[in-house]
Amino acid sequence: MLFNTFSCVLIRRTCAYRVTTYTHYSVKPWKKLRICEALSTQEIGTQVRIQGWVRSVRSQKENLFLHVNDGSSLQSLQVVASAELNCRNLTFGSSVEVSGNIVKSPHKKQAVELKADQIRVIGECDPVDFPFKVKERHALEYIRQFPHLRCRTNAFSSLLRVRSEASSAIHSFFRENHFVQIHTPVISSNDCEGAGEIFQVEPAVQDKTLDEESHHFFSVPAYLTVSGQLHLEVMAGAFPRVYTFGPAFRAETSHSRRHLAEFYMVEAELSFTESLEDLLTVMENLFKFTTECLLSRCAEDMELYHKYVAPGHKERLDLMLKEKFKVITYTEAIDLLSRSSQKFEFKTEWGCDLQTEHEKYLVRHCGSVPLFVINYPYELKPFYARDNEDQPRHTAAAVDLLVPGVGELFGGTLREERLEVLRTRLARAGLEESLQWYLELRRFGSAPHGGFGMGFERYLQCILGVENIRDVVPFPRSPDSCIL
């Protein structure tokens, strides 16, 4: 440390003299930087401090080389130090704090490196027991076994950065398009989809002295939400455009690569619209805006997936962004499937629900670009879907967006705003009494409206080319699996 000493200050005290010395320290503080900031700095010679985790250690006779990463970028910062700073617990995986000077790097692959004066090991890591090894490329299936450690790998740290930026871009899209964000509840008394695949919510310890009908914590049965749609419809009675982005839950006993018990949903509702085309426009714009933001802000992370996880996927993604999304009716889709030479496991007749195999075939047949399928059979859609009142095939004003490799990504409908039509549908479903409030929305200043939902994890699968949905969520929840 640098210091200056100012001395010989004389103080008279009743004819006696004493000398008081003042010492002033002029310390040049270390500038704490994230790894991404250190890599991009232009201030050569700056004294900095970094903190992170060791990705590699290489010791030579006179020099020590480390690569340190703190999760702020895919690229690690090379640290060069005297071999004297090496120690037994400085290993792959350990957490460290390094102080030194930023200098130009002699290597072409990096502009700068850190010449270390001090290296402090904060947390030790036994590289023998650590499940990830230096310079070894681990498969997504392998790292999935370690949900508490997989964020230390390049693949999963890249996924988490992409996920974070995607979330930010989605909020930006809605803000720029004048949507109001609504925090819809996680606990609800409604089963929006009416499919019964719900998790019921009750206290772990209940009062056994109360009878079964009166011991509900909320006085009525309550569930983890399957969708924020009905709450958004409430808000659409006061705001023309609203959206929510939060968790949803399905108690579906599926072990497929496309399903989770807990996932995130992006949902939006638009008032004063009587056209599916309005919904299609917002869906396509949301997809393209978010994806273009990611390709700009997370280029290295996206490239890692497109190079090592899904080679060739970048070209497919570019095509999705370049081409306008195609539109066909459900009836046209069934005709295409029926005429196909491909043998399907599930039937392909009018009135059947489209399965994943059907969805993927349709997307390939239509040029491997996202495909809107509209006007589904009325009986396939929930009570809130608007009746097209068409003949001879009765359809609802509903849409699914199918994308390459995934199948269904978005689902939406125009909502039934006509009171008597909706009342009849609810009565037939046995829901008229429990959804009186929903009918009242149509009585008090109702307006034609519609909305959609997008599965956030499926979106990430689509843009990164990841096959298993468990590889795009920090802590996957699925039947028979709730680790951590």
pLDDT in tens, 108-148: 888 999 999 999 999 999 999 999 998 888 999 999 999 99
Determine, yes or no, domain membership for 129. Answer: no
Q: Are residues 102 and 251 in the same domain?
A: no
Residue range 96-109: average pLDDT?
92
pLDDT (0 to 100) of residue 42: 87
Q: Are residues 73 and 173 in the same domain?
A: no
Provide the domain count of the chain.
Answer: 2
Among 35, 30, 64, residue whose Cα is nearest residue 51: 35
pLDDT (0 to 100) of residue 12: 37
Diameter over CA atoms, the chain: 118
Determine, yes or no, domain membership for 145. Answer: no
For the domain that residue 50 is a member of, what is the CATH number? 2.40.50.140
Q: Are residues 164 and 57 in the same domain?
A: no
Is residue 4 scored above 80 in pLDDT? no
Q: Are residues 217 and 300 in the same domain?
A: yes
**% of the chain beyond a pLDDT of 90:** 79
Range of the domain at 95: 32-123
Determine, yes or no, domain membership for 330. Answer: yes
pLDDT (0 to 100) of residue 484: 86
Say if residue 474 is preceded by a cis peptide, omega within 30 of 0.
no
Q: Are residues 301 and 418 in the same domain?
A: yes
Which region among 30-34, 155-159, 253-257 has the lowest average model confidence (pLDDT)?
A: 253-257
Q: Are residues 100 and 232 in the same domain?
A: no
For the domain that residue 215 is a member of, what is the CATH number? 3.30.930.10
Per-residue pLDDT tens over the stretch 312-365: 999 999 999 999 999 999 999 999 999 999 999 999 999 999 999 999 999 999
Per-residue pLDDT tens over the stretch 261-311: 999 999 999 999 999 999 999 999 999 999 999 999 999 999 999 999 999
Cα 239 from Cα 45, distance rounded (Å): 55
Among 168, 136, 166, 128, residue whose Cα is nearest residue 154: 136
Per-residue pLDDT tens over the stretch 177-212: 999 999 999 999 887 665 568 999 988 876 665 555
Q: Are residues 175 and 117 in the same domain?
A: no
Determine, yes or no, domain membership for 482. Answer: no
pLDDT (0 to 100) of residue 1: 36
pLDDT (0 to 100) of residue 479: 86
Determine, yes or no, domain membership for 318. Answer: yes
Q: Are residues 169 and 245 in the same domain?
A: yes
Boundary (domain end) residue, out of 123, 142, 164: 123
Boundary (domain end) residue, out of 123, 139, 174: 123
For residue 103, the surrounding DSSP H or E stretch is strand 95-104
Crossing angle for the helix pair 419-429 and 436-443, nearest 10 degrees?
170
**Which pTM was predicted?**
0.90
Is residue 381 scored above 50 in pLDDT? yes
Determine, yes or no, domain membership for 131. Answer: no
Query: 448, 289 in Cβ contact below 8 A?
Result: no
